Chains A and B, each alone.
Chain A
């Protein structure tokens, strides 16, 4: 029995819907990881120890354990203490926080690398340190690490397949469902791979546009 791609059209809508879920979860988790990354970076660098140390412990968990385990923990574990999250939300939080920790590392380094004169110029105008960080230092730091953050976001897209294990009908799980009905794994996994690739290309395109846009303001 060779390949038979004629089975695809019948299940295309299932897979396309999965594709949309993958895009939704990726975009939502990317936003969480971006703003969460900024927050974590600022806390790590500037917050007093009482705030910093709990965050540090949290980061340890998110860097040192498998994402899969984190997803189980958030989706199945939190129910036991009365927090019953929908699978999609649990997936966004898990993926988002996981990559927020990676983004935070990048942003911290970038904040430290912003020229000292920038903070001084802002303080000289009368801004408080917090105001200067928000308006002057952090925006520059973030611009400097847009390319590596973009790479993290593409890793996030690929890892979004993991949320299938908590039952989010994203691209991988949809392909599996189509396979369950047709016994055609090769065709549908290839189809899913093609969709991932297209989303990947779209993300790279967006990233390049952003980079071009900010090139002048660096």
Chain B
């Protein structure tokens, strides 16, 4: 099952909110170390798909697999809770609005979960915090609270927090959309660095340049389906579908 193209598998994902069908039979395979960008207009279901991968939004149909284990397995409630908590430890997620814990310093944000779930000692936690915050260039701010950090700094700490669980897969939901333009690149730098380290990543983004330069594959979603997918050169350079072309034209005219 861990054959490389099967590292992450989404099989026939379906999701409805009441009568609103948000994901309509989406399948996606991601190989270990691969970086996939998901683009598409607002409301097309990008976030929902990403959030289905770690079951923040439960699918109404279909399966998600990570490294040979089904994430959304059918289990009795208690067993499922235990299972999903274990799976989520392996899946890092970064949110548009950071969602840092405001009552904790950068250090505590990074070490809280590892201490609690992996039983790290104080020294181990300290070393981990320094290692991860150094990686995102936030070591000097290790004892700052989120309220004392800029948006870009907050997002870098949030990435460090996710990395501290040593995940197999990282999910990014518009990690730079809430940032002032001048703060975007510091976060992109960190993501690029992760790419160089061959972290498997699925990145929802509105930044076409970034997607083109970092990702191995681009998925264009619209109205709950994958309209087109392929390497960035193809999707951006020579889109096959009219809907993709229309979307890209609009994005290039007024990039967000």
Interface residues of A (CB under 8 A from B): 115, 117-118, 120-129, 131, 135-136, 139-140, 143, 214, 216-218
Contacts and interface: CB of A to CB of B under 8 A. Distances in A.
A24 to B, nearest CB: 30
A216 B99 contact: no
B148 A216 contact: yes
Nearest to B158: A121
A118 B99 contact: yes
A115 B99 contact: yes
Contact of B147 (A120, A122, A123, A216): A216
Instruction: In the A-B complex, list the 4 residue pairs whose CB atoms are closest, starting with the nearest.
Output: A126-B89, A121-B99, A125-B113, A117-B99
B227 interface: no
Nearest to B92: A124
Given A117-B99, A217-B147, A124 B88 contact: yes
Given A117-B97, A128-B85, 16 more contacts: A115-B99, A117-B95, A117-B99, A120-B56, A120-B99, A121-B158, A122-B113, A123-B56, A124-B91, A124-B93, A125-B89, A126-B113, A126-B165, A136-B101, A214-B103, A217-B103
Interface in B13-47: none
A115 B86 CA distance: 24
Contacts, number: 69
A136 B86 CA distance: 19
Contacts of A124: 54, 56, 88, 91-93, 162
19 contacts: A120-B56, A120-B95, A121-B99, A122-B113, A124-B88, A124-B162, A125-B88, A125-B113, A125-B165, A126-B85, A127-B85, A127-B117, A129-B81, A140-B102, A140-B103, A214-B103, A216-B145, A217-B145, A217-B147
B117 A126 contact: yes
A123 B117 CA distance: 12
Given A120-B56, A136-B101, A217-B102, A125 B161 contact: yes
B145 A121 contact: no
A108 B237 CA distance: 53
A125 B162 contact: yes
Contacts of B91: 124
Interface of B: 54, 56, 81, 85-86, 88-89, 91-93, 95, 97, 99-104, 112-113, 116-117, 145, 147-148, 158, 161-162, 165
Contacts of A128: 81, 85
A131 B101 contact: no
Contacts of B93: 121, 124
Contacts of A121: 93, 95, 99-101, 158
A124 B172 CA distance: 12
B59 to A, nearest CB: 16
Contacts of A216: 145, 147-148
Contacts of B89: 125-126
Contacts of A118: 99, 101
Contacts of A125: 88-89, 112-113, 117, 161-162, 165
A107 to B, nearest CB: 15
